[in-house]
Structure 1
Amino acid sequence: MRVSVIGGSTVSAAVYEQAVKVGRLLAERDHTVVCGGLGGVMRGVCEGASGGGGPTVGILPGEEVAAANEFVDIPIATGLGHARNALVVMNGDAVVAIDGGPGTLSELGLAAVYDRPVAGLGTHDVPGVRQVGTAAAAVDHVEAHA
């Protein structure tokens, strides 16, 4: 299954480590990580997935594939800016949201529009987001509901 992981581009060390855990668990359970391909949660989840032997896809806002973080296996340049958020959500069968600001909030709205199950770790408390407390609970939720 492909799982979109969304979240803040600038995060604390604790949030970053949570993203690494989510990525590693997804990889260990044979899932592909899809994200925005840049820093913060996106880099953390890709680092974790890479460490767990899983593939990563980064759907980038700009025109340069070289802008992807070093743990992205398949960078996709879009030139769409924040409009690429729809592509991040649509290319996952489910979504894990970790932390995040307005960009993450837009992706959560798109997840509702496209009927994707969402697990939230310290993210916006909005309808359709199942708030969970651990990386394992997040992965369990998306596996059970995708």
Structure 2
Amino acid sequence: MARKAIVGVIGGNGVPTATEQAAERAGRAIARAGVILLTGGQPIRVSEVKCAAMRGAMATESDEGGTARLIGVCPSGELVVPLKTASKWLMDTGLSSAERNPINGMTPDVLLMFEGGPGTLSELVFAFAAKKPVIYVGSITALDEAMQDENAVRAKVGKATTKFRGAFEPSVLNRAHDAANNLQVLYDHFCNQMSEPPLAEGWPKDARNDAWANDLVSSALKAVPARILELRADFPGIPQGLSKKTFDDWLFAMP
């Protein structure tokens, strides 16, 4: 039995309006494609990439019918309303923002990355460690600026790996540490896998329409081999909390 693909959306807080709108369109397109959206947020009205994507997915459900399939991986104390249904799981992980980042980076089958800071880059580190395909959406200038704060990224990755000690394969842990200690390696790998270069500045004129978002999500899903959907997700579990088995049982039962 195959499960549905998981598309992760990661990005920063307090982002420009154009970035927020593009993330919301991406969330709409993910729901429209009938696959699962995973973010570190919830569908509330704040200027954060993760929440914008969630709002977009919910808007598709209310405006166009169908089902928004959501996984919200929220830090301790931030979740407004916990929710678990057959198609939606908004969870209070009991973890700090930095500690839950391995879940956001490793669980999706493919990720869309919008501009962000050290937290977003730590999620990218774990996506790299788990060998997940990533599509960067936005300005290369914003990415370059984020890459300058190596110490903050390294600290966040360190907190997460300490919390999840014993949950990772040694090879995954080594790749995460290597990337966090040398962001240039991560940057080079990341840029080499791009099918198109990111924008030098700003957004294309069509970045806020449905056709652009649908194409973006279609490209992301092409990077997910069908055989992957026969396998369990790379959800690492939550220490002293949600187990991998419980998560996978829910995932495979999703309509």
Instruction: Quickly name the TM-score band, shorter chain normalised.
Output: 0.7 to 0.9
Check 1:64–1:18 CA distance in 2 against 1; reply closer, same or farther (3 A cut): closer
Tell me which amino acid in the other structure corresponds to 2:41. Answer: G
TM-aligned CA deviation for residue 47 of structure 1: 0.8
Contact in 2 for aligned 1:58/1:76 (Cα 8 Å): yes
Kept after mapping to 2: 8 A contact 1:119/1:132: no
- Pick one of 211, 216, 219 that aligns with 1:141: 219
Matches within 5 A, 1:68-79: 73-79=88-94
Range with greater deviation from structure 2 (115-124 or 11-20) = 115-124
Q: Is the 8 A contact 1:105 1:124 kept in 2?
A: no
- The aligned counterpart of 1:34 is 38
1:88-136 alpha-carbon deviations (Å, 9 max, x no partner): 1222111110111111111111111101110111263622353556534
Residues of 1 paired with 2:19 and 2:122: CA distance?
20
Question: Could you say which residue in structure 2 is the equivalent of 1:48?
Answer: 56
Which ranges in structure 1 are unaligned for 5 or more consecutive residues?
none
What is the distance in 2 between the residues matched to 1:45 and 1:132?
20
Provide the identity percentage: 30
* Equivalent position to 2:71, from 39, 57, 66: 57
SS at match of 2:80: helix
Q: Given residue 44 of structure 1, which amino acid in structure 2 is its aligned partner?
A: A
More strand by percentage = 1
2:190 aligned to which of 96, 114, 128: 128
Higher Rg of the two aligned structures: 2
Deviation at 1:63, TM superposition (A): 4.2
Aligned to 1:119: 135
CA deviations over 1:58-89 (Å, ceiling 9, x no partner): 10111453277xxxx42111122111010112
Kept after mapping to 2: 8 A contact 1:24/1:50: yes
Structure with greater proportional helix content: 2
Count of residue pairs brought into register by the alignment: 142
Give the unaligned 5+ runs of structure 2: 62-67, 83-87, 145-186, 200-206, 208-212, 225-255
Q: Distance in 2 between matches of 1:25 and 1:31?
A: 9
The one of 13, 35, 39 equivalent to 1:9 is 13
